[in-house]
Amino acid sequence: MSLDRIITPLDRVTALVTTASVRDALGELAAHHLAAAPLVDGEGHYAGTITTGDLKRHIADHRERGALKAPLSDVPQHAQNPALSVDHLGALAARACGHGFVPVVDSDGKLVGIIDRRRLPDLRFSRAA
């Protein structure tokens, strides 16, 4: 199975924009039953992974200063989930074990989709064949 068969394209991914508010991000994550989502800047470049834990820590640390109105760019990210280039699949299985997904970017660093860790056996099986 090729990468294009296991990647979830960006138009089917709940990605959050760095300019979105903490309140909006919490709403999006809850609406889609997600604990984390990829974060992109205004041009579509991958900017990290934001988690509900990151958002809750931010709120707890900034209660009196309008924490819910803050843009996601102000929220420290604790998840280390660097993107994988579509040209480099070697470390995919090891990287996905620590996260729910692996972000995939193009050569310009723009997010093109994610690979859900539940799809990794499909990739490993096809590479062994």
CATH code, 80: 3.10.580.10
pLDDT of 19 above 70: yes
Q: Decide if pLDDT at 128 tops 60.
A: no
Strand-strand pairing, 101-105 and 111-116: antiparallel
Task: HSE, CB side, 13 Å, CA atoms: give it for residue 4.
Answer: 1
Out of 55-64, 102-111, 119-128, least confident range: 119-128
- The answer to whether residue 46 scores a pLDDT higher than 90 is yes
Structural domain containing residue 117: 3-128
Whether 81 contacts 48, CB under 8 Å: yes
Q: Is the pLDDT of residue 86 over 70?
A: no
Give the number of residues written for the chain. 129
CB 8 within 8 A of CB 116: yes
Tally of structural domains, the chain: 1
Closest to 112 measured CA to CA, from 3, 7, 41, 32: 7
More confident residue, 83 or 39: 39
On average, the pLDDT of the chain sits at 83
Kindly tell me if the per-residue pLDDT of 125 is higher than 50: no
For residues 22 and 67, the answer to whether their CB atoms sit within 8 Å is: yes
